[in-house]
Amino acid sequence: MALMFSRLANNFAKNGYYPTDAGTVERTLSALDFTSSNLALLDPCCGEGTALAEIKHCLSEAGASVQAYGVEYNAERAWHAKTLLDVVAHSDVNDMTIKVRSFGLLFLNPPYGDLVADKASLSETTTGRKRLEKVFFQRSHPWLAIDGILVLIVPHYVLDNEFATMIAKSYRDVRVFMAPEQQFKQCVIFGIKRKSDRLDTKIVEQLEAVGLGQLPPEMPEYWSGPKYEIPECKETPAFVVARVSAEELNQELNTWQRETLWPQFNSYFGSINKKHRPPLRALSNWHLALALAAGQVSGIVTSKVGRVLLIKGDTHKDKVVKTTFEETGKKGEVREVRTHTDRFVPTIRAIDFSPGAMYGNLVTIQ
């Protein structure tokens, strides 16, 4: 099976970035199958996106409906991945909020190497060597659904007791192979996620042996045993970035332009720039109240004597209480009657810009 994006992947090697090699991706594809037509895939270190895009393409060709999600820290590679995958976040994986157990396939080829020494002991307590591979596995493992498929590509020598225990607690049917490309001494680990109810000691021993140098065979070019079946994605995964760059914000605004308020901007604010015709006759108090309530009385007003005011009209409702006394009954009892009548009170507030002592004063006209 020829890969679609192998030439594109090689374009990044000159910059010191080495994505998952074409041979490993092709042989991984031969081990995968699916049980439902609705699939969701995740690569939390997707690079330029070629590996996951190839997996998506092959599953789609087989008849599945596939959504591919990726996270990439490097800006150049992230924007390239956006052209190949459905949803890509240019972000640190630690700044992502993703719904747990929402993906059927976790394809993880994390960065290799030791963490920066934490001499202040601010990080969580861990045993063994502090490796990037372990950190990325711990962060992304909860996002894989129960019965979901793990494809983990790491150097074989990082599989110490701690890392082997992490995998054995939550995965079954674990198989390990050496990758066809051995530039970084990688091995490929397949597993099916299960509930973390017990520790499978046989898997721990198997993975620890690989870490100590008892290398497994190379991944077969043609898969002969039962394939790893990717389960159905029952709902759209929640995929949220805590920090958004200006470029990504601009892209999102362009994508969801019709859902924003900008298309309705003129309908809300267009009337401000329109000139209103003067009334045919002098306004009564009622007309003035309506004009004030509608916000039509505002702006700069200059009197005949040169006084300049910046005004803003408003209207508030008040009540007028009228009290009357009525004589009732045969004995001449007196009853007090209070009648409450609503009225609208126009108010004009202004800032005096006339030169002189009143300059800058606030004025209220009722």
User: pLDDT over 70 for what percent of the chain?
Assistant: 87
Whether residue 289 has pLDDT greater than 70: no
Is residue 336 within 8 Å of residue 356, measured between CB atoms? no
Whether residue 76 has pLDDT greater than 80: yes
Task: Report the pLDDT value the prediction gives residue 116, as an integer from 0 to 100.
Answer: 63
pLDDT category at 220 given cuts 50, 70, 90 is very high
Whether residue 206 has pLDDT greater than 80: yes
Task: Report the pLDDT value the prediction gives residue 270, as an integer from 0 to 100.
Answer: 65
What tens digit of pLDDT does each residue of 341-355 get? 888 777 788 898 888
Domains of the chain from N-terminus onward: 6-259 (3.40.50.150), 285-365 (no CATH)
Is the pLDDT higher at 272 or at 37?
A: 37
Whether residue 156 has pLDDT greater than 70: yes
Task: Report the pLDDT value the prediction gives residue 68, as an integer from 0 to 100.
Answer: 96
Cα–Cα distance measured from residue 149 to residue 217, given in angstroms and rounded to the nearest whole number: 21
Whether residue 339 has pLDDT greater than 50: yes
Q: Any idea how long the chain is? A: 366
Average pLDDT, stretch 169-196?
92
Whether residue 153 has pLDDT greater than 90: yes
Task: Report the pLDDT value the prediction gives residue 61, as an integer from 0 to 100.
Answer: 92
Average pLDDT, stretch 250-271?
78
Task: Report the pLDDT value the prediction gives residue 295, as an integer from 0 to 100.
Answer: 66
CA atoms within 13 A on the CB side of 102: 15
Task: Report the pLDDT value the prediction gives residue 337, as an integer from 0 to 100.
Answer: 84
Task: Report the pLDDT value the prediction gives residue 9, as an integer from 0 to 100.
Answer: 42
Average pLDDT, stretch 304-311?
85
Average pLDDT, stretch 112-122?
62
Task: Report the pLDDT value the prediction gives residue 14, as an integer from 0 to 100.
Answer: 41
Whether residue 18 has pLDDT greater than 90: no
Whether residue 12 has pLDDT greater than 50: no
Whether residue 1 has pLDDT greater than 70: no
Is the pLDDT higher at 312 or at 115?
A: 312
Is the pLDDT higher at 77 or at 276?
A: 77
Task: Report the pLDDT value the prediction gives residue 46, as an integer from 0 to 100.
Answer: 93
Whether residue 10 has pLDDT greater than 60: no
What tens digit of pLDDT does each residue of 245-255 get? 888 888 888 88
Q: List 38's β-bridge partners, or say none.
A: 65
Q: Quote the mean pLDDT of the chain.
A: 84
Sign of CA dihedral 84, 86, 90, 95: negative
